[in-house]
Structure 1
Amino acid sequence: MQRVLIVGSAGAGKSTLAREVARQLGLPVVHLDRHYWRPGWTVPDETRWRETVAALAAAPAWVLDGNYGSTLDLRLPRAELLVLVDLPWPLCLARVVRRRWDPRAAGRADLPAGCPERLDLDFLGYVRRYPRVSRPRVFAARAAHAPELPLVRLRSRAEVRRWLVRLPTF
């Protein structure tokens, strides 16, 4: 396995899981947030963003984490495995709130320089709506762009731990 795509709600643990999967498989990890955001949480030009994602996805090996539904069409066909970290939204919400004030979150490896951890009502709403709005978009994109792509759906912290123990057997 050379290309693993990890998606899920904010606070689900995508970046942490991506780092561990990359470590176990000896693959480079790519955090899309680091490539998307510009200092001060500035949004990039859509054309340049798609070019960036296409170049990242074209690499021969990666563990790539991040949602960015507008680019799933570029990433899904290149992936060999799709992992949906689908933890309950209240847990994800609690994690993003806790992470905001956790001093260990400063300088997170998955965020670019100039983008300190933030918390606002829009972001909290995104986390709350993820199961109803974004999760169905992931399934629809998979059906449209990579219907044969294997999917692992992890719905609890225990499932994540069990899956990681089995990971080297892929």
Structure 2
Amino acid sequence: MSPPARILVYGVYGAGKSTLAARLADRLGLPWYPVDDLLWQPGWVEVPVPQQRSRIEAICRRDRWILDGAYHGWRDVPLARADLVVGLDYPRWLSFWRLLRRTLRRLSSGEEICNGNRESLGSVLSRDSVLAWHVTAFGRARRRMRAWQADPSGPPVLLFRSPAALDRWLADLPR
């Protein structure tokens, strides 16, 4: 069996989607398109959803790609073309802890996230905080991944419930 050429990495905020996408891109020699770069302009201005969809459609028409997320206005596009969906279905406490640790690191370092955007204390404490998004989106993301896995008409879905299980799978991937 040949390795997949079109991969959607999915999970809740903080699960490790971008980290996994980078690892897969390196391991499989596939181009990775970080979704945050496609969705956010400088100053945390959201790209209009029709333009997001157009950008994702252009990527998904290609023969080889990795995306590290899928959102409401265009989720159907990568699902229709993916050879594989890798779902990070970790426990809530683990993904929240990872998100909190990453957020604190980014606050202290000033690390750029995408297109010049950085986290700030104000953004972390706001109602639109990525931490609040995690709390409200966790259950939906989990139900969505599990429904995709149960749907025989969609692409194959591998759900990983722990980082150790993911690491075992990655170790077995062809180089």
Question: Which band: TM-score by shorter chain?
Answer: 0.7 to 0.9
Say which of 107, 115, 118 aligns to 1:116. Answer: 118
Superposition deviation, residue 137 in structure 1? 3.2
User: How has the CA–CA distance of structure 1 residues 113 and 30 changed in structure 2, closer, same or farther, with 3 Å as cutoff?
Assistant: same
| Distance of 1:57 and 1:105 partners within structure 2 | 32
TM-score normalised according to structure 1 size: 0.85
| Structure 1 contact 8–67 (Cα < 8 Å) conserved | no
The number of residues matched between the two structures is 165
User: How has the CA–CA distance of structure 1 residues 90 and 41 changed in structure 2, closer, same or farther, with 3 Å as cutoff?
Assistant: same
SS of 1:76's partner is helix
Say which of 52, 56, 59 aligns to 1:56. Answer: 59
Structure 2 residues without counterparts, runs of 5 or longer = none
Say which of 74, 84, 90 aligns to 2:77. Answer: 74
| Distance of 1:80 and 1:28 partners within structure 2 | 14
Q: Which residue of 1 aligns with 2:170?
A: 164
Say which of 10, 16, 20 aligns to 1:7. Answer: 10
| Structure 1 contact 106–116 (Cα < 8 Å) conserved | yes
What is the CA RMSD across the aligned residues, in angstroms?
2.3
| Structure 2 contact 40–115 (Cα < 8 Å) conserved | no
1:22-77 deviations in Å (ceiling 9; x for gaps): 11111111111111011111111121111111111111101111131331111111
Greater shift, 116-125 or 7-16, is seen at: 116-125
Q: Which residue of 2 aligns with 1:30?
A: 33
Q: Which residue of 2 aligns with 1:130?
A: 137
User: How has the CA–CA distance of structure 1 residues 69 and 168 changed in structure 2, closer, same or farther, with 3 Å as cutoff?
Assistant: farther
Percent of aligned pairs with the same residue?
35
| Distance of 2:30 and 2:109 partners within structure 1 | 25
Structure 1 residues without counterparts, runs of 5 or longer = none
| Distance of 2:75 and 2:149 partners within structure 1 | 8
